[in-house]
């Protein structure tokens, strides 16, 4: 299975600090309710229309525009409520009609995207280079409509939030387009095929976050001959999510001639595809930071339907992934943010609670850091254990570094702390800083019991007995 985090796929590159997922992350890192619905339609109705795009040389081609509408259908009324909308230009596969991708393109439109799909280069001898140019030209068409007072898209296109996608030949062409179009902020394609000129080679010139979605049962563009090579040649933040049982034609709404099959149904694969596209574009084009955990963070490798390989081109290393913190005191975890080629620059640091952090305190030594490619920048995380903590109690956090260049890609590490030493306030069973009748009641209520986590076990020996009662009585009335 392909499960490495960072480095080229199918290599044995190991780096201190690459942390594999230990457990399902807390809701704020894996927003379960929102995440579960991303494969379902969004709040808008899907509208579509056919438009004519003019090339730089004056020739034209048609494209299908999918957009948020107030009612579903062809030429349905546009819904301006959520404008300006981000936009995605999509490239069809070899000899494929744009219509076979309708469910996926409509899905994105229901989530508040303008999706434009060129109908050019649909013949037996397509020019991949020209197709890539047409895919980019569709974005120019949107820019022009956004500036045209007579257009229904006037002022309603977020021209700073352009993405690219495509399937098979169109996936490869989307890479060619991404390598030469500086307006594009994110790339997420489907079973991308190598092209002429080479999409594998072009990946070296792609600088934006890229998600190369594939299927492990693809019989037309096997992932090891296409997606893996593209991933390995990339120096941008990169991902290779491989759908388990996914097949080449499973990305289309219906099968054509010479189609393959896989280990899951077409409906299952399309649902996974909708989720993978929507979460990636929502983070990178809409800036929905609640999704970072499932796109780049601990949740990215937790989906049972997908084998994920990813590399944010940055990593946080530490020898303090597990640290002891004195009860009532503090300890500092020392971390280093390192970057690889394509990942240098400014980063913003975050710390988010993962588990059982009530009463614990954390503070980063800085919230912003700049690191050159191939170098490391140190920072610290001060962790304070509450005075009422018992020896052995623990807490954990996710520390992440978000790349300022795209305000989405993150490196992360898990830091766990364990409270050590004697309780800072002997006899204070409930940790409120005062030894009083509440603490006496806690001891008497648990008296004679044994086991972990008993509130009345003030000396933390695993048994509530006269020793605990003596601690309460000898310190009764004291505050700390």
Distance in angstroms (rounded) separating the CA atoms of residues 164 and 190: 11
User: CATH 2.60.40.10 in the chain, residues?
Assistant: 314-420
| Predicted model pTM | 0.85
Contact by Cβ (8 Å): 319, 334: yes
Distance in angstroms (rounded) separating the CA atoms of residues 479 and 179: 65
Distance in angstroms (rounded) separating the CA atoms of residues 338 and 154: 43
Distance in angstroms (rounded) separating the CA atoms of residues 479 and 201: 68
- Cα distances (Å, whole numbers) of residue 12 to 8, 234, 258, 301: 9, 17, 37, 18
User: CATH 3.40.50.1820 in the chain, residues?
Assistant: 32-311
Q: DSSP 3-state assignment of 266?
A: helix
Topology of domain 425-480 in CATH is Type 1 dockerin domain (1.10.1330)
| pLDDT tens, the chain, 480 aa long | 333 344 555 433 223 232 333 333 343 344 444 445 899 999 999 999 999 999 999 999 999 999 999 999 999 999 999 999 999 999 999 999 999 999 999 999 999 999 999 999 999 999 999 999 999 999 999 999 999 999 999 999 999 999 999 999 999 999 999 999 999 999 999 999 999 999 999 999 999 999 999 999 999 999 999 999 999 999 999 999 999 999 999 999 999 878 999 999 999 999 999 999 999 999 999 999 999 999 999 999 999 999 999 999 999 999 999 999 999 899 999 999 999 988 889 999 999 999 877 889 999 999 999 999 989 999 999 999 998 788 899 999 999 999 999 999 999 999 999 999 866 678 888 888 899 999 999 999 999 999 877 999 888 788 999 999 998 999 899 887
Contact by Cβ (8 Å): 288, 383: no
Distance in angstroms (rounded) separating the CA atoms of residues 178 and 204: 11
Q: Which residues contact 62 (CB under 8 A, 6 or more apart)?
A: 50, 51, 52, 53, 118, 119, 120
Topology of domain 32-311 in CATH is Rossmann fold (3.40.50)
Q: Which of 65, 24, 70 is nearest to 43 (CA)?
A: 70
Domain 314-420 carries which CATH code? 2.60.40.10
User: CATH 1.10.1330.10 in the chain, residues?
Assistant: 425-480
């Amino acid at each position: 299975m392909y499960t490495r985090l960072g480095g080229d796929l199918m290599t044995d590159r190991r780096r201190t600090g690459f942390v594999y997922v230990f457990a399902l992350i807390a809701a704020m890192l894996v927003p379960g309710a929102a995440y579960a619905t991303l494969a379902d339609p969004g709040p808008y109705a899907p509208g579509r229309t056919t438009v004519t795009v003019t090339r730089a040389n004056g020739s034209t081609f048609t494209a299908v525009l999918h957009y948020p509408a107030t009612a579903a259908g062809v030429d349905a009324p546009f819904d301006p409520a959520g404008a300006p909308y981000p936009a995605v230009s999509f490239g069809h596969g070899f000899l494929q009609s744009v219509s076979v991708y309708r469910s996926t393109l409509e899905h994105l439109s229901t989530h508040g995207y303008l999706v434009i799909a060129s109908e050019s280069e649909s013949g037996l001898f397509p020019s991949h280079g020209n197709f890539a140019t047409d895919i980019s030209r569709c974005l120019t068409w949107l820019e022009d409509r956004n500036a045209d007072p007579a257009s229904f898209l006037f002022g309603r296109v977020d021209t700073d939030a352009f993405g690219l996608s495509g399937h098979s030949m169109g996936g490869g062409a989307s890479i060619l387009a991404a390598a030469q179009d500086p307006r594009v902020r994110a790339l997420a394609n489907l079973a991308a095929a190598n092209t002429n000129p080479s999409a594998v080679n072009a990946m070296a010139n792609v600088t934006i976050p890229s998600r190369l979605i594939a299927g492990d049962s693809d019989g037309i563009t096997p992932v090891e001959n296409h997606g893996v090579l593209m991933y390995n040649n990339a120096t941008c933040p990169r991902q290779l999510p491989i759908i388990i049982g996914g097949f080449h034609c499973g990305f289309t709404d219906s099968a054509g001639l010479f189609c393959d099959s896989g280990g899951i149904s077409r409906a299952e694969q399309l649902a996974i595809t909708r989720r993978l596209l929507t979460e990636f574009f929502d983070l990178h084009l809409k800036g929905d930071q609640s999704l970072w955990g499932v796109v780049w963070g601990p949740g990215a490798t937790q989906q049972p339907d997908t084998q994920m390989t990813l590399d944010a081109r940055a990593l946080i290393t530490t020898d303090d992934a597990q640290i002891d913190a004195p009860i009532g005191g503090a300890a500092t975890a020392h971390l280093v943010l390192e970057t690889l080629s394509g990942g240098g620059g400014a980063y913003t640091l975050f710390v988010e609670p993962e588990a059982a952090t009530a009463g614990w305190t954390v503070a980063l030594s800085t919230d912003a850091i700049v690191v050159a490619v191939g170098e490391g920048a140190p920072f610290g995380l001060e962790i304070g254990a509450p005075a009422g903590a018992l020896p052995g109690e623990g807490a954990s956090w996710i520390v992440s570094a978000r790349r300022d260049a795209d305000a989405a890609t993150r490196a992360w590490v898990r830091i766990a702390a364990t409270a050590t030493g004697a309780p800072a306030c002997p006899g204070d069973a409930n940790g409120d800083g005062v030894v009083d009748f509440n603490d006496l009641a806690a001891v008497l209520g648990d008296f004679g019991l044994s086991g972990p986590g008993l509130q009345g076990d003030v000396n933390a020996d695993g048994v509530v007995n006269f020793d605990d009662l003596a601690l309460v009585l000898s310190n009764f009335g004291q505050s700390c």
